[in-house]
Amino acid sequence: MTKTTFDLAVVGGGPGGYVAAIRAAQLGMSVALVERAELGGICLNWGCIPTKALLHSATVLRACREAAHYGVSGAGDARPDLAAMVARSRKVAGRLGQGVAHLMKKNGVTVFAASAKLAGAGRLTLDNGTALSARHIVLATGARARELPALPVGERIWAYRQALVPTEIPKSLLVVGAGAIGAEFASFYRAVGAEVTLIDMTTEILPQEDAEISALARKSFEKQGIRVMTQCAVTSSSLTASGVKVVLDQQGKRSELEVDRVIVAAGIVGNVENLGLEQTRVKVEKTHIVTDGHCRTGEPGVYAIGDVAGAPWLAHKASHEAVLCVEAIAGKPVHPIDPLRIPACTYSYPQVASIGMSEARAREHAAKTGGDVRVGKFTFAGNGKAIAMGEDQGLVKTVFDAKSGELLGAHIIHPEASELITGYGVAASLEATEEDLMHTVFAHPTLSETLHESVLSAFGRALHA
Q: Which residues are annotated as a binding site for FAD?
A: 52, 307
Give the burial class of 436: count Cβ atoms within 10 A of its Cβ; 0-12 exposed, 13-18 middle, 19 or more buried.
middle
Q: Which residues are annotated as a binding site for NAD(+)?
A: 177-184, 267
Burial (CB < 10 A; 0-12, 13-18, 19+), residue 126, is: buried
Q: Within the chain, what is the greatest distance between any pair of CA atoms?
A: 69
Three-class DSSP labels, 327-362:
HHHCCCCCCCCCHHHCCEEECCCCEEEEEECCHHHH
Q: Give yes or no for a contact between 173 and 261, defined as CB atoms under 8 angstroms apart.
A: yes
Distance of CA 185 to CAs 190, 269, 345, 424, Å?
8, 20, 14, 27
411 is catalytic: no
What distance in Å separates the CA atoms of residue 99 and residue 292, rounded to the nearest whole number? 32
Distance CA 299, CA 283 (A): 9
Evaluate the CA torsion angle 100, 105, 110, 113 in order and state its sign: positive
**Catalytic choice (335, 444, 452, 464):** 444
- Distance CA(42)–CA(258), nearest Å, equals 30
What are the residue numbers of the active site? Answer: 444
